[in-house]
Structure 1
Amino acid sequence: MSALEELLAAGARVVEEGLSPGSSGNLSVRDGDRILLSGTGVPLGRLRPEDVAVLDLEGQHLDGAEPSKESPLHVAFYQRDPAHRAVVHVHSASAVAVSCLEPWSEHSAIPPLTPYFVMRVGQTPLLPYRAPGDPALGDDLLSSPWAMRAALLANHGPVVAGSTADEAIGRTVELEEACRIALLTTGHPRRELDAAATSELARRWSSPWGQRTTLTAARR
């Protein structure tokens, strides 16, 4: 499957998973030294080749449709870690709701309530509020000191990376479920996984939890 085919299939899957209402959200796939990104205002479930923008790894528009205004988020994740080959940004309801709350901790907005969140997503820091499309969103993500595969943008929603589009979407689904469970248990005497359990899960599944980043991200 080509990178373009992967991106178009990812758009359909995001909608099937109920993560992208209306024309909200944007997706990208890295293809060598290029980024294929959904165009601005395009419903992801009806993404066509002519709706795709082509950027370089610095975020410069090379070809195709007008890129989503959230392109700095995608560029920042690719600059943080060359292992990332796909990025998903959506406005799924539970994750947006949690992004409007005070974070559970400095390194993760969401508590470790299930092993699956720790295993599949890992710590998910809350980044500061910025207006949608503000280039500083990318700067915040790029400069975050925490190792991460996902982040919540305050009062906005999640952004998630993976080695493939399917992996990034799977993590987005797991993150949405973790946020839903966090909301359902808020205000109740809930039982979180303890530090030993989270550390062991993170170690076994090579998932970030409590660590600061050791990546040499390219600073802009």
Structure 2
Amino acid sequence: MNNENRLREEICWLGASLFQRGYTVGSAGNISARLDDGWLITPTDACLGRLDPAKIAKVNSKGEWISGDKPSKTLLLHRQIYDRNASVNGVVHTHSTNLVNLTLQGVWSTPSILPPLTPYQVMKVGRIPLIDYDRPGSQAVAAQIAELANQVNGVMLERLGPVIWGKTVSSACYALEELEETAKLWMQSDKKLSPLPDSAVSELCEVFSIQW
């Protein structure tokens, strides 16, 4: 199986896993992966729980649709991340309940939607900033994300959901799951949990060569 076929299978497996566990519902969300000659991205209005490897859209390095079903309307957003950060090979966007609810009730801060609560949140996800609401597929949102693509591992779109990127599609999914579970902890506590001390965050950043 060549690299493209493996990536198609990986996208389908991860999409089904996210859907089955309620990280996304209906036809919400999208997943993409970098190829040597472009990108793969889930089709527009596709259910992540019922993806067909053969129907995943392929676009060339210019962002032109060349095969599969019509690509997600968030294609520009994904492309901006890949163009700005050469280390990114996978991007995942869902409408995860606890994270969307967090934006409706009020995030911890605009630069970081959640305080540093757990070591794995700090290590695997990092600081996630809030992007103010705009319609799905907005070019203005894509431009804002492009400016952050090398600074953080993801963003939170107000009222829409997280966009997380990583070195692989799987690692992006795992980080998204960690973020959603951290939001769940925060919301269930009525936002009363104490953040990790600054010294603990600094130690994690130093030991694991990460940035908060």
Q: Normalization by structure 2: what TM-score?
A: 0.90
Letter in 2 for 1:159: V
CA shift digits 1:67-122 (9 cap, x unpaired): 11111221122123111111110001001112234442343111111111101100
The change in CA–CA distance for 1:208 and 1:76 in structure 2 (over 3 A counts) is farther
2:85–2:150 Cα contact (<8 Å) kept:
no
Specify which structure has the higher proportion of helix: 2
Letter in 2 for 1:172: L
Unpaired runs of 5+ residues, structure 1, are: 210-220
2:58–2:68 Cα contact (<8 Å) kept:
yes
Q: Which of 195, 204, 211 lines up with 2:207 in the alignment? A: 204
Matched residues in 2 for 1:145 and 1:193: separation?
Answer: 25
Matched residues in 1 for 2:207 and 2:21: separation?
Answer: 28
Matched residues in 1 for 2:8 and 2:178: separation?
Answer: 25
1:42–1:51 Cα contact (<8 Å) kept:
no
Alignment-derived partner of residue 135 in structure 1: 139
Aligned-pair identity in percent equals: 35
Alignment-derived partner of residue 26 in structure 1: 30
Q: Normalization by structure 1: what TM-score?
A: 0.87
2:43–2:71 Cα contact (<8 Å) kept:
yes
Number of aligned residue pairs: 208
2:45 is the alignment partner of 1:41:
yes
Alignment-derived partner of residue 104 in structure 1: 108
- Root-mean-square deviation (CA, aligned residues, Å) is 1.9
Unpaired runs of 5+ residues, structure 2, are: none
Alignment-derived partner of residue 16 in structure 1: 20
Matched residues in 1 for 2:208 and 2:81: separation?
Answer: 21
Letter in 2 for 1:74: H
